[in-house]
Amino acid sequence: MSQTQGEDRPTVLISAAVVASEAEALLEEAGLNFVYTEAYPSQEALLEAAARLRPVAIMHRQGFISGAVMDAAGPQLHIVSRHGAGFDGIDVAAAEERGVTVARAAGANSRQVAEHTMAMILSLLKDLPSLTRAMREGAWEKNARATRDVAGTAIGIVGYGAIGTKVARLADAFGMRVLVYDPLLPSGSLSGPGERVEELGVLLERSQLLTLHCPLEETTRGMIGAAELARLPKDAILVCTARGGIVDEAALLAALDAGHIAWAGLDVFNKEPLEAGSGLRTHPRVLATPHLAATTPRGAVSMATAAASNIIDVLAGRLPSLEGALVVTGWALQGAQKSIEGGR
C-alpha cells in the first residue's frame, strides 16, 4: 500500500494501485489522506485495510466492497464512490442498510467506451484479426477473402444510456442501421438515432451485430445465453464493453465453436483478471481486451476526478454535483436531498 502524508487527516481508501494524479490533488486540497491497496484487492485485503484505516470514504475501482468491508470501516464511513459508471462491484443493498452513500462517475467515461466499442465493431466487420494473423503466417488472401460492408449493417444496441447513445451516433455516421432495445427508456422518440424495438428477441433476430451497454443487475445477469445467441442470425457479431456476467461465456464459446457467431469482441469478463487458461484468451474468433475501454488519458482523469469530487461533496454534506452520480442517498445526505426537493 502507498499513502499520502498527514495520517491525522481523514482517510480515503482507494481500492486500486493507482488513480490519476489529478484526483489525488483534489483529495489533498480537501484535507484528505488517501491510501491505496494493491491492484484487484481480495476481500481479505479490503477487510484488513478498512479495519486498520477506518476510512471516511472508499474510492472503489477494483475488488468488491461488501457489507463486511463497510462494517470493518466503521460508522464514520460516509461514502463509497465508484471510479467509473458501473456499480456492480459494490453491495448497494448493504450500503443502503448502513446509511452509506453510494455515488458513481456517471458519464465520465462514456465517450471513451463508445470509441473502444466502435473500434471493435469496425475491426470485426472487416475481419482484421484473422487477416493480420494470416499475413503474419505468410498468406496473401487478396483473391480468397472479402470483408463486410459497414454501411447497411444492422446493429442492435442493448442499453441506450450515455454510452449506448454515443455508439448509436457513431454507428449512424458510418451508415449502419441502428436498432435499440432498452426497457427502461421512457416512451416517446429516442434522444439519438435508431429504431426502437420493444422486445429483446425481436432485436436479436434483426441484428447482424449486437453490442451491449446495459448495467449488470439481477435482470441482466446471464441475459445473453445459449437461447439468445441462437436467435441472432448466423455469422452475427457480439460486442460487449458493458460488464462481465451479462453474457454466458460458456454459451458464447460454444456458439463460436459451432460457427453460429462469427466474432466476439469483449472488454469485460465474468471474473477479472481473466484467468490465464480461459478459452476466451485463445479462441481465434475472439478479440479480447483487459477491461480498458475507458482507460485513455482523458477517460482516466475524468473517472478519477469525478469519483474524488463525489467524495468531497458528500463529506461536506452536499449532494454530488455530477448529474446522475447518486446511487444511494446515505443518512448524512438525506436532509440535503429533502431540502433540495422541498425547494422545487
CATH of the domain at 30: 3.40.50.720
**Has residue 253 got a pLDDT over 60?**
yes
Give the domain extent around 172: 110-288
| CA–CA separation, 30 and 336 (whole Å) | 20
Burial of 122 (0-12, 13-18, 19+ CB in 10 A): middle
Question: Does 2 fall in a domain?
Answer: no
Cα end-to-end span (Å), the chain: 45
Tens-place pLDDT, residues 64-121: 999 999 999 999 999 999 999 999 999 999 999 999 999 999 999 999 999 999 999 9
Report helix angle 110-125 to 162-173, nearest 10: 40
pLDDT at 8: 81
pLDDT at 336: 58
Query: Which residues are part of the catalytic machinery?
Result: 243, 272, 291
Res. 6 pLDDT band, cuts 50 70 90: low
Relative to beta strand 326-328, strand 101-104 is antiparallel
Q: Is 101 helix (H, G, I), strand (E, B) or coil?
A: strand
| CA–CA separation, 122 and 124 (whole Å) | 6
Question: Of 271, 288, 305, which marks where a domain is finished?
Answer: 288
Q: Is the CB of residue 3 less than 8 Å from the CB of residue 27?
A: no
Same domain, 140 and 35: no
Mean predicted lDDT score pLDDT of the chain: 94
**Has residue 1 got a pLDDT over 70?**
no
Same domain, 16 and 124: no
Question: Does 5 fall in a domain?
Answer: no
**Has residue 230 got a pLDDT over 80?**
yes
Same domain, 180 and 141: yes
Structurally, the chain folds into a number of domains equal to 2
Phi-psi region of 259 (alpha: psi -120 to 50; beta: other; left: phi over 0): left
Tens-place pLDDT, residues 266-321: 999 999 999 999 999 999 999 999 999 999 999 999 999 999 999 999 999 999 99
Task: Quote the pTM value.
Answer: 0.90
Same domain, 104 and 195: no
